[in-house]
Structure 1
């Protein structure tokens, strides 16, 4: 299923791209220590866990600031019943795919969240999988033409939004039709305009942050800003105290508040801050209905590993066996 349109070449790399901050280094060796303590732990079986959340369909696109795919439903004021998104131009296709990515300009354009979505027009069903940023993947090509592998975290550096799409497409051997790359600052602007959101946690937890090492969250109701929201979504992606149900519930919490607090002109302005391969006009041409959504988890196939850079530096990664990724691709593109 390789997409020949996505064979971009990137012929620049250096050892500088493999260096990371003190916080990253501390995290790496903490992970390595955990690996040494648990290296007798059996590998997880290749069975993906998934759940259906039909009532929460809209919320998945709130990560795209209620704009990228879901702008049609917002502009039309269709907030009841079945939700709608834009229809792809190639109506003959059995399904189409979309990648929504969150990056941070302040952190050298590292990407922290990737949502890969597939949609079946016939079944009116959508599926979604969230990728850990520590995923080890081909992020470009070296000067000699050989593949360059690193964390998905760095994929934007080697060719921008198009290269992020290429990296994820190659990882799953799955063509990706549309993409949107959203900066953390844009998400923070949206959250600030709504005065944040509230989310209930079942226990105290510590979650990795972006502009700082981590956030400490308390059991009960937490008032979240933009980075704290993304931090919890990252934790849910990796299954750290949270899971895919929390991922969707977080998005739903944004939707409920954005529905009544974000005016259309502001949404239009926010759209101009998103890197996407589709125009706002194209989004508004056609609409389709979504009856249900299915969330697919990757953590049953996540193999915690590390790469040694030198005697004092290393980095933590997640590897996936190809058989597992093939299973995920098949599940993403099979609609029964």
Structure 2
């Protein structure tokens, strides 16, 4: 019975509604009350930068950004001459500010993991910004339950739904458009990786070893949940993505685990996957940049900062009937503006 309730609480049905018993609804609202002492309470807080992570040449890249940093792996090493190219020279004007960033060379990249098996719903969304001059990167992960402008109705009004469904309304390009609207921030590059493709990659290196400091239960994708005990685990592809997803949720893993998981994936990929296999992987990724273009432009990363959205997350439940409803995470515009500014400000 417990598994059935969890499945009802976490699964998305074809009519895009969550099915709840009265007991389930009570549990959901109890969780919301724990998250927010009062419903819809404004939660403006300072942006939490959880971790500054040095990235060495041996790491070569960060986690799921395979498509953007693939040339670094294929070519073997970074080199300083590549830093003089015109790659990603994008001037930005920080949101919520009238001050123009002078000659900052910043690029933005969105990495999304979806599942064909689950009707092309998207579960992991990583938004990254990179400053070429300082060789710094920042990353933020968006919960799949984010209340987002995923499409436009026939009457011209904006259709809001979970970010989870953005791919269904227009594919990879619509995912980019939706996330761009959320942060009011242009997104230069995007890549959508199917969970099956990512899982095959992880299986080819016999899984990813990862250490957890405590017992934890996290939501899965093709099943209800994963239960992990404290200690070292050999993770498959879906388990890696599930743990990354949990870094954007309350009472789960901290944001520092997101970068640590990326490190674990890329270290394994670098050491055990031949370049030819990585090139084949690229052909299975939906991206708006060609492999030839990537091969001509390499980048170097000295550090990565992970940025948290948890301080601004507002849990909300919209009842649709006496037995059905939808659970969302909402963010106030001012908070999202502050996140956008932090993503595009490199000091």
CA distance in 1, matches of 2:258, 2:60: 10
Per the alignment, residue 78 of structure 1 pairs with: 77
Taking the TM superposition and a 5 Å limit, the aligned residue runs for 1:179-194 are: 179-194=190-205
Per the alignment, residue 53 of structure 2 pairs with: 53
Is 1:62 equivalent to 2:63 in the alignment? yes
Structure 1 37/277 Cα, relative in aligned 2: closer, same or farther at 3 Å?
closer
Q: RMSD of aligned C-alpha atoms?
A: 2.7
Kindly state the Cα deviation for residue 44 of structure 1 after the two structures are TM-superposed: 4.0
Taking the TM superposition and a 5 Å limit, the aligned residue runs for 1:1-336 are: 19-20=16-17, 30-36=27-33, 40=37, 44-50=43-49, 51-55=51-55, 58=59, 61-64=62-65, 67-78=66-77, 89=87, 91=89, 93=91, 94-336=105-347
Does the 8 Å contact 2:150/2:166 carry over to 1?
Answer: yes
Secondary structure, aligned partner of 1:133: coil
Q: Runs of 5+ in structure 1 lacking a partner?
A: 1-15
Per the alignment, residue 12 of structure 1 pairs with: none
Structure 1 89/130 Cα, relative in aligned 2: closer, same or farther at 3 Å?
same
CA distance in 1, matches of 2:119, 2:303: 37
CA displacement, residues 106-159 of structure 1 (integer Å, 9 cap, x when unaligned): 000000011101111222211111111111010010011100001100000100
Structure 1 197/39 Cα, relative in aligned 2: closer, same or farther at 3 Å?
closer
Q: Which range is displaced more, 189-198 or 93-102?
A: 93-102
* TM-score, normalised via structure 1 length: 0.87
Per the alignment, residue 13 of structure 1 pairs with: none
The number of residues matched between the two structures is 317
Does the 8 Å contact 2:62/2:263 carry over to 1?
Answer: no
CA distance in 2, matches of 1:334, 1:283: 25
Structure 1 262/88 Cα, relative in aligned 2: closer, same or farther at 3 Å?
farther
Does the 8 Å contact 1:86/1:284 carry over to 2?
Answer: no
CA distance in 2, matches of 1:122, 1:320: 31
CA distance in 2, matches of 1:198, 1:85: 33
Secondary structure, aligned partner of 1:200: strand
* TM-score, normalised via structure 2 length: 0.84
Structure 1 28/152 Cα, relative in aligned 2: closer, same or farther at 3 Å?
farther
CA distance in 1, matches of 2:237, 2:69: 19
CA distance in 2, matches of 1:131, 1:87: 31
Structure 1 326/259 Cα, relative in aligned 2: closer, same or farther at 3 Å?
same
